[in-house]
């Protein structure tokens, strides 16, 4: 398991791994900037500003956030996530992309309506502090050993499955829009691997919505809006329901995934730096009402793949392209948001579900890929799917608790390896 390798790695390294340096990264960047690194970086950005952005907006609508709160959320995670990726790529000359946690945002869809927004902001802040402390002290590997990856991914699959079923319900409510959008998605996915099927589906969905009257033009009012700064408030329930699960997801779902794909491509990933900077990112974004700016698993996978260039030493250029375009989207989020808000709810739900296919499939695979922690992963899955709320604490937290407890009772030998 990747996190077990992380534990060994942390005992051998200083707190912050030494990299090549910003000046070296900048000097070599232009030599590695080519069609492949540019394409990979832009594809990673397109992936993240289509379906995933809709997931934020969907969660914001479920939580009844104001436009100002939603725009601040979008600004913080995209702008600071982009900066995080640029810094790591330049300093370590590795394709380590920054973004935000999709599972963490999905979790907030159920949790946002329960707490006052200032308590949510306080919980975000504490989550960032937790991640930062785990990185600085080198405890990240030990913590993840007691919350095994199969249980974490089982919880992710359970918490996010409603996005998958949203594909079906949206098709039932708006068959014409959903049918043509799905057709566009599958055609592009089958015929052209370089074009984002989500982006194509979004374009087709908008066109169909325009012709069928589903696009609400009256609601489109384009205006620049500055992000806001929010004052955090703190509560024990928000700490348990938001801060702890969010910290676990940042480390267990995003950092561990990014570490795994980097290692598979032959990079020596700076796991301590990745964790520490993810914590700092979470602290900064919390004041803008954002979940967490951290290492991005899927985008790192895109930028470090062979499609980003045969020379792995130069693939970090793809992450820099990704970071610049990613941050630019955050700056102009207030202009893009009104258009997305005017889309039919069924189209938004459908696209969110399509964007989650890869994440859901990966979560199911990691939860049950081995013979270890299967019972725990199963209980984490079904508890996450249940959507239960106990003491104002939502299902993702109870999924982790129930999954670990089930494994302790049914398969204690798995913790001894």
User: Residue 29 has what pLDDT?
Assistant: 92
Does a structural domain hold residue 292? yes
For residue 98, which phi and psi values (nearest 5 degrees)?
Answer: -110, 145
* % of residues, the chain, pLDDT over 90: 28
Does a structural domain hold residue 221? no
Q: Can you tell me the distance from the alpha carbon of 181 to that of 167, in angstroms, rounded to the nearest whole number? A: 11
User: Residue 64 has what pLDDT?
Assistant: 86
Domain span at 331: 2-214+226-412
> 3-state SS of the chain?
CHHHHHHHHHHHCCCCCCCCCHHHHHHHHHHHCCHHHHHHHHHHHHHHHCHHHHHHHHHHHHCCCCHHHHHHHHHHHHHHHHHHHHHHHHHHCCCCCEEECHHHHHHHHHHHHHCCHHHHHHHHHHHHHHHHHHHHHCCHHHHHHHCCHHHHHHHHHHHHHHHHHHHHHHHHHCHHHHHHHHHHHHHHHHHCCCCCHHHHHHHHHHHHHHHHCCCCHHHCCCCCCCCCCCCCCCCHHHHHHHHHHHHHHHHHHHHHHHHHHHHHCCCCCCHHHHHHHHHHHHHHHHCCCCCCEEECHHHHHHHCCHHHCCCHHHCHHHHHHHHHHHHHHHHCHHHHHHHHHCCCHHHHHHHHHHHCHHHHHHHHHHHHCCCCCHHHHHHHHHHHHHCCCECCECHHHHHHHHHHHHHHHHCHHHHHC
Mean pLDDT of 251-272: 77
Q: Which residue has the higher pLDDT, 27 or 335?
A: 27
pLDDT in tens, 293-306: 998 877 888 888 77
Does a structural domain hold residue 220? no
Does a structural domain hold residue 239? yes
Does a structural domain hold residue 64? yes
User: Residue 88 has what pLDDT?
Assistant: 95
Under 8 Å between Cβ of 348 and 174: no
Closest to 292 (Cα-Cα) out of 253, 320, 331, 329: 253
Mean pLDDT of 231-259: 84
Longest dimension (CA), the chain: 61
* % of residues, the chain, pLDDT over 70: 88
Does a structural domain hold residue 219? no
User: Residue 10 has what pLDDT?
Assistant: 42
- Output the six-digit token pair for 231: 């004052």
Q: Can you tell me the distance from the alpha carbon of 212 to that of 352, in angstroms, rounded to the nearest whole number? A: 21
User: Residue 81 has what pLDDT?
Assistant: 94
Highest average pLDDT, of 39-53, 93-107, 219-233, comes from 93-107
pLDDT higher than threshold 60 for residue 377: yes
Does a structural domain hold residue 417? no
User: Residue 131 has what pLDDT?
Assistant: 92
pLDDT in tens, 284-293: 999 999 988 9
pLDDT in tens, 160-216: 788 788 899 988 988 998 899 999 989 988 887 666 677 788 788 888 888 887 766
pLDDT higher than threshold 60 for residue 319: yes
Does a structural domain hold residue 79? yes
Handedness of CA 399, 158, 393, 244 (dihedral sign): positive
Domain count, the chain: 1
Q: What is the mean pLDDT of the chain?
A: 83
Q: How confident is the model at residue 36 (pLDDT cuts 50, 70, 90)?
A: confident
Mean pLDDT of 334-338: 74
Q: Can you tell me the distance from the alpha carbon of 302 to that of 308, in angstroms, rounded to the nearest whole number? A: 8
Mean pLDDT of 366-387: 89
pLDDT higher than threshold 60 for residue 407: yes
Q: Which residue has the higher pLDDT, 377 or 192?
A: 377
pLDDT in tens, 341-376: 677 778 878 877 887 777 688 778 888 988 889 999
Q: Give pTM, 2 decimals.
A: 0.72
Under 8 Å between Cβ of 194 and 35: no
pLDDT higher than threshold 60 for residue 14: no
pLDDT in tens, 87-145: 999 999 999 999 988 878 888 887 888 899 999 999 999 999 999 998 888 776 666 56
Mean pLDDT of 379-394: 81
């Amino acid at each position: 398991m990747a996190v077990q390798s992380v534990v060994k790695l942390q005992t051998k390294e200083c707190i912050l791994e030494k990299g090549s340096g910003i000046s070296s990264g900048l000097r070599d960047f232009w030599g590695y900037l080519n069609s492949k690194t540019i394409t990979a970086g832009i594809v990673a950005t397109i992936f993240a500003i289509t379906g995933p952005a809709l997931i934020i907006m969907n969660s914001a609508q479920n939580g009844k956030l104001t436009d100002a709160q939603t725009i601040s959320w979008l600004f913080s995670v995209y702008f600071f996530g982009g900066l995080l990726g640029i810094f790591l790529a330049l300093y370590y000359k590795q394709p380590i992309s920054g973004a935000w946690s999709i599972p963490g945002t999905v979790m907030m869809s159920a949790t946002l309506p329960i707490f006052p927004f200032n308590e949510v902001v306080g919980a975000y802040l504490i989550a960032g502090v937790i991640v930062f402390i785990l990185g600085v002290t080198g405890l990240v590997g030990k913590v993840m050993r007691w919350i095994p990856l199969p249980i974490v991914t089982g919880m992710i699959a359970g918490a996010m499955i409603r996005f998958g079923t949203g594909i079906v319900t949206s098709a039932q409510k708006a068959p014409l829009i959903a049918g043509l959008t799905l057709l566009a998605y599958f055609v592009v996915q089958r015929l052209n691997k370089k074009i984002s099927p989500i982006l194509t589906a979004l374009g087709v969905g908008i066109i169909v919505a325009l012709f069928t009257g589903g696009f609400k033009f009256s609601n489109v009012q384009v205006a620049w809006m500055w992000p806001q700064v929010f004052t955090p408030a703190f509560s024990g329930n928000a700490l348990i329901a938001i801060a702890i699960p969010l910290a676990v997801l940042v480390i267990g779902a995003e950092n561990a995934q990014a570490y795994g794909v980097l290692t598979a491509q032959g990079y020596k990933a700076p796991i301590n730096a990745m964790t520490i900077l993810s914590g700092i990112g979470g602290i900064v974004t919390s004041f803008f009402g954002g979940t967490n700016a951290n290492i991005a698993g899927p985008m790192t996978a895109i930028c470090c793949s062979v499609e980003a260039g045969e020379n792995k030493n130069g693939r970090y250029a793809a992450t820099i392209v990704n970071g610049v375009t990613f941050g630019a989207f955050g700056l102009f989020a207030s202009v893009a948001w009104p258009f997305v808000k005017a889309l039919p709810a069924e189209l938004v739900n459908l696209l969110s579900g399509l964007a989650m296919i890869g994440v859901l499939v990966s979560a199911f695979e990691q939860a049950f890929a081995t013979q270890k922690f299967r019972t725990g992963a199963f209980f984490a899955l079904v508890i996450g799917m249940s959507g239960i709320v106990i003491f104002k604490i939502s299902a993702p937290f109870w999924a982790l608790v129930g999954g670990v407890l089930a494994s302790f009772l049914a398969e204690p030998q798995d913790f001894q390896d």
